[in-house]
Amino acid sequence: MNAQLISVEDDETGTALMLIGGVEIAAMSCLWYGSACVACPTLGELFNPTFSCLFDESDHADWASVFAGNPAQEMRLHRTGLWSYRALGRIVAIEGPEHAALADCGGCLIPLPVTLYDPCCIGVYVGFNIQRLSVSIA
């Protein structure tokens, strides 16, 4: 998945605005973090983003609410605030020793707020709230 950088605030942790699959996505910019071998993308440049999320503890996201949260089987991010979203997607991977699950939410691979162990969950539709979406370079 590639994103095109549309705008970014000059300071770290400002807003990065990207175009992914024809959809504008705003996230907290962590583009300057990480490896010194990877340069921060310039405006208009395509790059491979990695997304991380801060989840609202008061939202009580658990396995049942995440798996029941997308009955229409949509794949998109619905913006609810500056960096906040309702994530609707389909599980595409469960990775690593921490069993991090990723959902395709319309071209954005977003980590789930719950840990999954069963590979049979791949392909299942999910929905959950993101309090803060952050983007860095993969």
DSSP one-letter string for 21-69: TTEEEEEEE-TTSS-TTSPPPPTT-EE-EEEEEE--GGG---HHHHHHS
**Residue whose entry in the numeric block shows the structure tokens 């949509």:** 74
Between 119 and 38, the more confident residue is 119
The verdict on 42 and 57 lying in the same domain is no
- Kindly state the DSSP code that residue 113 receives in the 8-state scheme: S
- Whether residue 59 is found in the same domain as residue 9: no
Q: How many CB atoms lie within 10 A of CB 64?
A: 9
Long-range contacts: 62-71, Cβ < 8 Å, 24+? 62/114, 63/114, 65/128, 66/112, 66/113, 66/114, 66/126, 66/127, 66/128, 67/124, 67/126, 68/127, 69/126, 69/127, 69/128, 70/125, 70/126, 70/127
Name the 3-class secondary structure at 19: strand
Mean pLDDT computed over 63-69: 94
pLDDT bracket for residue 25 (50, 70, 90): very high
* Number of domains present in the structure of the chain: 2
Degrees (nearest 5) of the Cα angle 123, 65, 57?
120
Whether residues 44 and 104 fall in one domain: no
pLDDT for position 33: 75
Q: Quick one: 10 and 72 in the same domain?
A: no
- The residue-averaged pLDDT of 5-10 equals 89
Q: What percent of the chain has pLDDT over 70?
A: 96
Assess whether 12 and 63 both reside in one domain. no
Task: Indicate the pLDDT class of residue 135, thresholds 50, 70 and 90.
Answer: very high
Residue 35's pLDDT is 56
Q: Are residues 45 and 56 in the same domain?
A: no
- Give pLDDT tens digits for 75-115: 999 999 999 999 999 999 998 888 889 999 998 999 999 98
Q: Quick one: 28 and 16 in the same domain?
A: yes
8 A C-beta contact, residue 133 and residue 58: no
User: What is the rounded average pLDDT of the residues 113-138?
Assistant: 94
Domain that holds residue 34: 3-49
Q: How do residues 26-64 score in pLDDT, each as one tens digit?
A: 999 998 776 556 778 889 999 999 999 999 777 778 889
Do 13 and 41 have their domain in common?
A: yes
Band (pLDDT 50/70/90 cuts) for residue 125 is very high
Q: Does 60 lie in the same domain as 26?
A: no
